[in-house]
Structure 1
């Protein structure tokens, strides 16, 4: 999404993101291809580099559509991951250096456990996690040791 928006004027961002959402939430590859053709027809004349980047990356994008919708949402919603990475960076930056690897891991572990009261989601929980966990266990339970 961000890569696409870097080519576009800010005034078109909401329309572009709405069109792109139809692609990455499509129930199947043919439906995604159809949504992409509509997207390309709407935006290629104005932002040819944006559409070309999607065309170049299409083969890498298609396997994403094999995931169930709940897992896809977990993948494309990176806010939780970015938030945790920012907390890790802040925790390690404040300390400068560590005597050994165990000390660094301990700081990261405590950072994960720390509640952040000034955040809308102080525990870092993911909305809809139970549905995602059910889908993951049914789809990838052998990898998770759940089957």
Structure 2
């Protein structure tokens, strides 16, 4: 809750879509401060958590059948594919169907988005990669005399990490236009790659 409150205090007016990794209580915290936010579970995390239980020889087939679930054209089709998955794999891997069924309310919003947006909210891996870099630097440093020194180290880590952010999200321009339509916003300020979404009045 504190992290989300801090975002609000720092001037964030609205979060339209939040892709989360299943941290308990986080979706509720987001919706408490930003009630209009669509909270979407990270699909990559769902697949990763599922295949933990799968033998190597079944891995390719299981991931392909899970892909049929999350790449379905709509939620109803996704549920049908999930039932097909259960018929095929439940005897061997019952826990996978259980994971997806229990988390379906967090997966379902994914189907309401166009394909371009789906690609943009499919995973939180970029954020996780940045967090790993920060964690590594803090761990190597060990002891900090005060909070200010930690902030400086994190700032430098983020500055270095941002230099590697050279690969844009595939079809990002299309996704951005779809976001604007979906969220009823206008696009402003394309200069230097900075894009601001402004809500229409």
Relative to the length of structure 1, the TM-score reads 0.77
- Equivalent of 2:97, from 51, 61, 84? 51
The runs of 5 or more residues in structure 1 that have no matched partner are none
Distance 1:105 1:3, change over 3 A: same
The structure richer in strand per residue is 2
Match 1:41 to one of 62, 73, 87: 87
**1:140 counterpart = 2:186:** no
Question: Which residue of the other structure, out of 107, 123, 129, is the alignment partner of 1:83?
Answer: 129
State the TM-score, normalized to the length of structure 2. Answer: 0.59
Distance 1:94 1:24, change over 3 A: same
CA distance in 1, matches of 2:50, 2:161: 34
Deviation string 1:1-45 (CA, Å, 9 cap, x unpaired) is 112112211211111111111211222111111211221121112
CA-based RMSD of the aligned residues comes to 2.7
Structure with greater proportional helix content:
1
Alpha-carbon separation, structure 2, partners of 1:40 and 1:3: 16
Number of equivalent positions: 142
Contact 2:50 2:96 survives alignment (8 Å) = yes
Give unmatched runs, 5+ long, in structure 2: 1-46, 186-195
Alignment map for 1:38-117 (pairs within 5 Å): 38-114=84-160
